[in-house]
Structure 1
């Protein structure tokens, strides 16, 4: 009888999201207070367990120590790219053919080597692309060539068309062209567009006629900027842009490692898109296409619509306030999950607020 009582208590103190069990209900409440479980977390299509990232979900399904039942079903009906579980092996085969992208981006990208392409235009409303991806290639400056200098930049739209491509003349001398990976030679930069001019063009295009201080997360004319490691790229170009409009695949929690460190773009492309990039001489167009495809895949996820989806929304501020401890302890794990909200902005919200 005692065993049955303990079993019931354990179930009562089991997190409805990640299934972690606690000895006391107050410990479960504290777990929910700091975990920010939500409908936006990657979720196992078999047991419905919430995972903090797609990497932790991947480990749950096909890692070194997966959940056996989920692993067996996933091996039969699961897509190794988006980690969805389909109805049948045949459905999985059809789905995976569409889910795996081809790696032919470089063919188009190599055309960008032919010279400058500049379609940067400022226009209000819905005219022109509202989401753009940017990628840069760096050469080395300084006495040891370790200082990153932007020498090539490429912007593409949602349809993977090149909006802007240019070699960039750095403001200080180049001491290492890093030819093995950049393919850049001194003559390519001799008459290249000066960095200041590139900076102004890109910044004006991103703001799209909207003053920087009025740019907001939702609505407005400013464009959404997609990339990988954008803090570094923007710093090298000396461009300032509002964080609310940046979608960085290196810092997006669902795409990070279980240790909360960034995955490389090369790994993300291979694991989630199904092809290889950055082999030999690297083209910024390929990187831009990969980040745009990753962004579109994350944005296209369908999650439950909530009026106030973020923990930081004022309406959610007191959901797990310490003064509500007694009330929270009377809730079931499912009720606590219902009022829990995400601590990051899920890109699926872009399709709702910035269609």
Structure 2
């Protein structure tokens, strides 16, 4: 038998102490169709519907909402309507790895225009400053520009940077001077790449994907859309009308920073996959586990996912 994967890194109800596999599960526990009555009563009085935390008073909740409720941002409005050319501030440095967010906008290829082709890309740093922004010339002919949502016209791609060149430039920036064969899943000089639905070809990098992060997924283990996550956890709308990859970058970076800022208890070996954690128990030890209290079981259990709060610590 195996110990539970419940851990200190999972969302917890601030009222009854119940742990959930995802924030969506916790939300259902608090204000869903069949919530726990006492938890629902307290949450509706002193709970934040964005971060799902409970506060000591209504006044404390009002003060908290001023920082928890984010807005679309003035810069996003400017970038959406500005037809900017190439902006390239990608630099390789030997400092500590920093998180950057990447997003693309796709046009259509193929006979029916259903094939997604990257035509515009944006990379920002943790402070929402643009590091790289450019139109991209796809490797296949574009048959549908999807202008209603992308705002991209044929003339924007005529002299755009070729896709291969963009890929090499971004790869060099993310590796940050470290050879590809030396890059480790955690640690090293390579940068942390944040995004939503990141391409599988980037799995060699250190990725933080809001589409596949267990606490942000549905209770059915399916991914939520970035539009939904931004509204539910940041409190504002994105992807309305003509869209720009900058707003997607900002949304994913804000989600990442919010998840990373969670204060969880430090553990020497926080993952179930760490070799120091022997999570297998023989059947004859079942009675030993049954005698343990929930607190003791939690102490020996480890998370089966990498919590982003560890990015702000010295765990490697």
TM tier relative to shorter chain: over 0.9
TM-score normalised over the length of structure 2: 0.95
Query: What's the secondary structure of 2:50's corresponding residue?
Result: coil
1:286 is matched with 247
Instruction: Choose which of 289, 292, 298 in structure 2 pairs with 1:331.
Output: 292
1:61-107 deviation per Cα after TM superposition (whole angstroms, max 9, x unaligned): 11111111011111111111000001100000010111010112522
Query: What's the secondary structure of 1:230's corresponding residue?
Result: coil
2:228 paired with 1:267: yes
2:118 is matched with 150
Q: Report if the CA contact (8 A) 2:271-2:305 is conserved.
A: yes
Alignment of 1:158-197 (within 5 A): 158-197=126-165
Shift of residue 323, structure 1, vs aligned partner: 5.5
Shift of residue 34, structure 1, vs aligned partner: 6.2
For structure 2, list consecutive stretches of 5 or more residues without a partner in the other structure: none
2:274 paired with 1:350: no
Query: What's the secondary structure of 1:175's corresponding residue?
Result: strand
Equivalent-residue separation in structure 2 for 1:208 and 1:122 (angstroms):
5
2:278 paired with 1:317: yes
Instruction: Choose which of 288, 296, 311 in structure 1 pairs with 2:257.
Output: 296
Q: Report if the CA contact (8 A) 2:3-2:280 is conserved.
A: no
Q: Report if the CA contact (8 A) 1:144-1:175 is conserved.
A: yes
Instruction: Choose which of 150, 160, 166 in structure 2 pairs with 1:198.
Output: 166
Shift of residue 328, structure 1, vs aligned partner: 2.2
1:11 is matched with none
Query: What's the secondary structure of 2:76's corresponding residue?
Result: helix
Instruction: Choose which of 11, 31, 36 in structure 1 pairs with 2:5.
Output: 36
Shift of residue 152, structure 1, vs aligned partner: 0.3
Instruction: Choose which of 198, 204, 210 in structure 2 pairs with 1:242.
Output: 204
Shift of residue 325, structure 1, vs aligned partner: 2.8
1:60 is matched with 29
Q: Report if the CA contact (8 A) 2:195-2:210 is conserved.
A: yes
Equivalent-residue separation in structure 1 for 2:210 and 2:6 (angstroms):
21
1:117-148 deviation per Cα after TM superposition (whole angstroms, max 9, x unaligned): 0011111123xx71100000000111111111
Shift of residue 49, structure 1, vs aligned partner: 0.4
Question: Which structure's residues are more often helix, by fraction?
Answer: 1
Q: After the TM superposition, which of the residue ranges 266-275 and 206-215 deviates more from structure 2?
A: 206-215
Q: Report if the CA contact (8 A) 2:7-2:301 is conserved.
A: yes
1:4 is matched with none
Equivalent-residue separation in structure 2 for 1:350 and 1:344 (angstroms):
13
Equivalent-residue separation in structure 2 for 1:349 and 1:302 (angstroms):
10
Shift of residue 192, structure 1, vs aligned partner: 0.4
Equivalent-residue separation in structure 1 for 2:105 and 2:31 (angstroms):
34
Equivalent-residue separation in structure 2 for 1:42 and 1:318 (angstroms):
21
TM-score normalised over the length of structure 1: 0.85
Q: Report if the CA contact (8 A) 2:80-2:243 is conserved.
A: no
Shift of residue 172, structure 1, vs aligned partner: 1.2
2:218 paired with 1:257: yes
2:76 paired with 1:114: no
Shift of residue 321, structure 1, vs aligned partner: 4.7
Equivalent-residue separation in structure 2 for 1:164 and 1:222 (angstroms):
17
Shift of residue 319, structure 1, vs aligned partner: 5.3
Equivalent-residue separation in structure 1 for 2:125 and 2:81 (angstroms):
16
Q: Report if the CA contact (8 A) 2:3-2:281 is conserved.
A: no
Shift of residue 315, structure 1, vs aligned partner: 1.4
After superposition, the Cα gap between the structure-2 partners of 1:134 and 1:67, relative to the gap in structure 1 and judged at 3 Å, is: same
Equivalent-residue separation in structure 2 for 1:297 and 1:67 (angstroms):
26
Structure showing greater radius of gyration is 1
The Cα RMSD (Å) is 1.7
Shift of residue 113, structure 1, vs aligned partner: 2.8
Equivalent-residue separation in structure 2 for 1:225 and 1:307 (angstroms):
25
